[in-house]
Homo-oligomer: A and B are copies of this chain.
Amino acid sequence: MVQLDATTQEVLNRISEEFAQKGAYNLRQNGVALCHGDSEHIKIRKKEDKPGIDILIDGDTKGERVFIPVVVSVSGMTDLVYNDFYVADGADVTIVAGCGIHNSGCNESRHDGIHTFHVGENANVKYEEKHYGEGNGTGSRVLNPVTNIEVGRNSVFTMDTAQIKGVDSTVRETNVELAEGAKLYVLEKLMTDGEQKAESNIEVCLEGSGSSAQIVSRSVCKGHSLQTFHPKAVGRNKCHAHIQCDSIIMDQAHVGSIPEIQAEHVDAAIIHEAAIGRINDEQLLKLRTLGMTEAEAENVIIENFLS
């Protein structure tokens, strides 16, 4: 067991609370793999040509969880990493990623994680990702994840991503290709405050017959923060897609939503819904009559909205 320093452990508790040095795991800290382990069905290999790892998940993997958290705790670092996931036919796996930045200095700390998923047929992949920033330095905390996902025939890919706190700037790029009968579920949760900026671009190409995608994005935008969403669904075959973006706007924040739906096949059915509005006044009133302060009531509503 590698001994972790207090800052790293604290950040881990925020992004990956179940993390332990057992089973298949890889902990990256300040640009290097601090510790890693394999399991019977999941092997992790360091890349030879560039920073990052290959995660090989065999077809007999059933319900296993693999943890690959990243912690950046020095100020002024840019950490770029390429992680490739090879999921064999029939595998059933949960991948817990996530990145936390502790920046107590005056320089920008940044992590750019480029994750590529090659998912075979009849597989079931759940991908959980939490992004978090902390530290009282003036240096900004920047996270620019790129996620490329190829989902094979009749496989299911579920992506559950959350950025709740402390990230000053993020540009998220997610690209998905769905083969015949493949299903995608995305749940994105985002909260920004202060002068933070967040941009999320998701492009889903429904290439295969019978493929489907459901994207739900929920965000809360406080302070002077700025959010832009650009989800895009392209239907190239008989398929279903449903995109839903809901945002709560507060204070002097700005929220933009630019969904794009493209139907290139007569049997492509694509629906989009987006709503931006202030916090529900009736809910607020109800909670305040129960004795909560306005701030407490707002927090309850926001937590509920993002849960």
A39 at the interface (CB under 8 A from B): no
Report which of B253, B263, B276 forms a contact with A276, defined as CB distance below 8 A. B263
Least CB separation from A244: chain B residue: B273
Which residue, of A256, A259, A261, A262, has the highest number of chain B Cβ atoms within 10 A? Answer: A261
Known contacts: A256-B261, A260-B258, A272-B257. The answer to whether A251 contacts B278 by CB under 8 A is no
**B258 and A264 contact, CB distance less than 8 A:** no
CB distance from A169 to the nearest CB of B (A): 19
Instruction: Write out the residue numbers on chain B whose beta carbons fall within 8 Å of the beta carbon of A256.
Output: 260-263
Specify the main secondary structure of chain A where it touches its partner.
strand
A277 at the interface (CB under 8 A from B): yes
**A266 and B254 contact, CB distance less than 8 A:** no
Report how far A263 CA is from B263 CA in the complex, Å: 27
Instruction: Write out the residue numbers on chain B whose beta carbons fall within 8 Å of the beta carbon of A285.
Output: none
Give A contacts to B, CB under 8 Å.
235, 247, 249-278
Given A256-B263, A269-B276, A269-B277: 8 more A-B contacts, CB < 8 Å? A235-B276, A252-B266, A256-B260, A256-B261, A257-B262, A268-B277, A271-B273, A272-B272
